């Protein structure tokens, strides 16, 4: 399977909309980016959640706790992949590994990596899974590999 420029643009926009919805507290817009069986894992925060109802609550919780924070995504690397999906209804898959950071009041407060999995649906590309790892926070400093 290969990805063309249209696929790469659509997936990149999906990645950026993820943070824009989170920063704006737009839980309905956020869940539109996901398949029903989406999984989010944040090992450092001991969080694992699946499904759109759980994600709506997660967006509201994060936004309420960090309402003045802005999140940034960089070094996005999108590649075709079929390694993560077994016996699924989807036919096209992609993955991404990128860096993220959160700023509050112009100061970086945390940073890490995203490991994403995407599937192509009848409504375009959607998030299938995201693993968020932390590499540094203002409070904790450097965080060993998770």
Give the model's pLDDT for residue 85: 62
58-101: per-residue pLDDT in tens? Answer: 999 999 999 999 999 999 999 998 776 666 788 889 999 999 99
Specify the 3-state DSSP secondary structure of 90. Answer: coil
Residue 21 above 70 pLDDT?
yes
Return the structure tokens found at 144: 């060993």
With bands split at pLDDT 50, 70 and 90, how would you rate the model's confidence at 53?
Answer: very high
Residue 145 above 80 pLDDT?
no
Give the model's pLDDT for residue 86: 67
DSSP label at 43? G
pTM of the model as a whole: 0.93
| CB 30, CB 56: distance < 8 Å | yes
| CB 137, CB 143: distance < 8 Å | yes
């Amino acid at each position: 399977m290969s990805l063309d420029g249209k696929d790469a643009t659509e997936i990149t926009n999906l990645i950026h909309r993820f943070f824009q919805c989170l920063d704006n507290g737009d839980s309905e817009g956020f869940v539109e980016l996901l398949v029903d069986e989406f999984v989010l894992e944040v090992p450092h925060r001991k969080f694992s959640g699946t499904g759109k109802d759980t994600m709506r609550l997660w967006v509201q919780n994060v936004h309420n706790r960090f309402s003045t924070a802005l999140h940034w995504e960089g070094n996005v690397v999108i590649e075709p992949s079929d390694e993560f999906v077994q016996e699924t209804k989807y036919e096209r898959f992609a993955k991404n590994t990128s860096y993220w950071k959160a700023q509050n009041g112009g100061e970086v407060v945390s940073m890490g990596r995203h490991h994403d999995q995407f599937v192509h649906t009848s409504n375009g590309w959607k998030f299938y899974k995201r693993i968020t790892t932390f590499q540094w926070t203002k409070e904790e400093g450097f965080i060993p590999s998770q």
